[in-house]
Amino acid sequence: MKTNMGETNLTVVMEFILLGFSDIPRLEGFLFVLFLIIYMSILIGNGLIILITKIDPTLQTPMYFFIGNLSFLEICYTSVTIPRLLSNLWSQRRNISFLACAIQLTAFLIMGATECFLLAVMSYDRYVAICKPLHYPVIMSHNKCIKLVVGSWISGIPLQIGQTCQIFSLPLCGSNKLNHVFCDIPPLLKLACGDTSINEFSVYADVLILAMIPFLLILWSYSKIINTILKMPSATGRSKAFSTCSSHLIVVGLFFGSAIITYLRPKSIHSAEADKILSLFYTIVTPMFNPMIYSLRNKDVIAALKKLLPK
C-alpha cells in the first residue's frame, strides 16, 4: 500500500514488493526446491558442527569454539533471508511490510558485520597458535574467547542500526517494488528520490569500517603466519600449519570477496541481476559450504563425526 503526497510526488510506503525471481516464473518451483534443499543442508551441516564442537572432548579448544560459533552465526544469518524467500516462492505473495523490511535489513547487516569480526578473531586465534604457541593457552583463555565472540556480535550493532534508520528515512517516490530477493541497501537506494550520494558515501564508510578493517587484520595475521610457517624446519610441521589455516582462508575469500564486490563497486556498473546473484553467494552459498570446508579438510572433525553419526 502507498499514498501519494501531492505535488512533491513523494510516496508514503506501507509495504514493499520483493520481485525476487518473478521474471522467470517457470523456474520458481525448481528454485523453491533448490533453496529448500540448500537451507536444510545449512541447518543440518552447521548444526552438526555445533554439536560435535560442544560434546567431543578432543574439540574443546579455542579454534573449534570459534568454528562452532561461526556455524551458529551462519544458521542465524541464512534464517534472516531464506525462509522469507521460500515463502514468497511458494505462496507467490511478494509483499513485505515496511517494518518487516527494516527489521530484516537490520538483522542482515548486524550479522554480516558479526561475521566480518568473527572471521578476524579466528585469524587472530591462528596467529597466536602458530606464532606464539607457548603463550597460546594463556592468551586464548576461555574467558578471552567468550569476550572476543561477544565483542564480534555487538561491535557492529550501533552503526548498522544507524545505517538502517538512515536508509528508511529517505523520501521514496514512484514504485515500491524491490527488484531483489530480500531487503538490501542497493535496491532500497534505487527507490529513493533525489540525490543519494551522501547515503552511498555512508554505505562505503560502513563497509570500510565493518568489513575492510577486519579484512586488513586478517591479512596482517596471515602475513605473520605465513612468515612463521616458512621458517619452520620440519616439512611436516609446515604442512600441518598450512592445513589448519587453509580452511579459514577459503571461507574468508568466499565471504569477503562477494560482499566487497557487492557494496564497493561503482554505482554505474550496478545491475539488479548481478546484485541478486552476489547477495545469494554470500548469504546462501558460503554458509552452505562452511561445514564442508571445515569438516572435509579437518581430520579431527571427521573423526568426531564418525564417532557421532553411528549413534
Return the H-helix or E-strand segment holding 3.
Answer: strand 2-4
Average pLDDT over residues 283-309: 76
Q: pLDDT per residue over 58-117, tens digit each? A: 888 898 899 899 999 999 989 998 998 898 888 878 888 888 989 999 999 999 899 889
Domain boundaries, the chain: 2-308
Query: Among 206-215, 227-236, 275-284, which range has the highest average pLDDT?
Result: 206-215
**C-alpha span between 307 and 300 (Å, rounded):** 11
Average pLDDT over residues 239-253: 74
In this structure, what DSSP letter does residue 284 have?
I
Nearest 10 degrees: Cα torsion 75, 33, 88, 24: 130
Task: Look at residue 107 in the predicted model and tell me its pLDDT.
Answer: 92
Mean pLDDT of the chain: 82
Task: Please say whether the beta carbons of 106 and 84 come within 8 A.
Answer: no
Long-range CB contacts (< 8 A, 24+ apart) of 266-275?
Answer: 267/200, 270/186, 272/179, 272/180, 272/187, 275/180, 275/184, 275/186, 275/187
Average pLDDT over residues 209-221: 87
Paired sense of beta strands 177-178 and 15-18, if any: parallel
Q: Which residue has the higher pLDDT, 139 or 232?
A: 139
Q: pLDDT per residue over 297-309, tens digit each? A: 677 777 777 777 7
Label residue 11 by pLDDT band (50, 70, 90). Answer: low
Task: Please say whether the beta carbons of 108 and 206 come within 8 A.
Answer: no
Return the H-helix or E-strand segment holding 16.
Answer: strand 15-18
**C-alpha span between 48 and 101 (Å, rounded):** 31
Query: Among 22-31, 192-201, 219-228, 280-289, which range has the highest average pLDDT?
Result: 219-228
What pTM, to 2 d.p., does this model score? 0.85
SS3 18: strand
How many other CB atoms are found less than 10 A from the CB of residue 273?
9
Q: Which residues contact 122 (CB under 8 A, 6 or more apart)?
A: 63, 66, 67, 70, 248
Burial of 239 (0-12, 13-18, 19+ CB in 10 A): exposed
Task: Look at residue 9 in the predicted model and tell me its pLDDT.
Answer: 53
Q: pLDDT per residue over 70-84, tens digit each? A: 999 999 989 998 998
Label residue 5 by pLDDT band (50, 70, 90). Answer: very low
Task: Look at residue 6 in the predicted model and tell me its pLDDT.
Answer: 46
Q: pLDDT per residue over 31-55, tens digit each? A: 899 999 999 999 998 998 898 888 8
Q: pLDDT per residue over 187-203, tens digit each? A: 888 888 877 778 888 88
pLDDT for 207 beyond 50: yes
Architecture in CATH for domain 2-308: Up-down Bundle (1.20)
Burial of 189 (0-12, 13-18, 19+ CB in 10 A): middle
Q: What secondary structure does DSSP assign to 183-248, as a single string?
A: --HHHHHHTB-S--HHHHHHHHHHHIIIIIHHHHHHHHHHHHHHHHHHT-S-HHHHHHHHHHHHHH
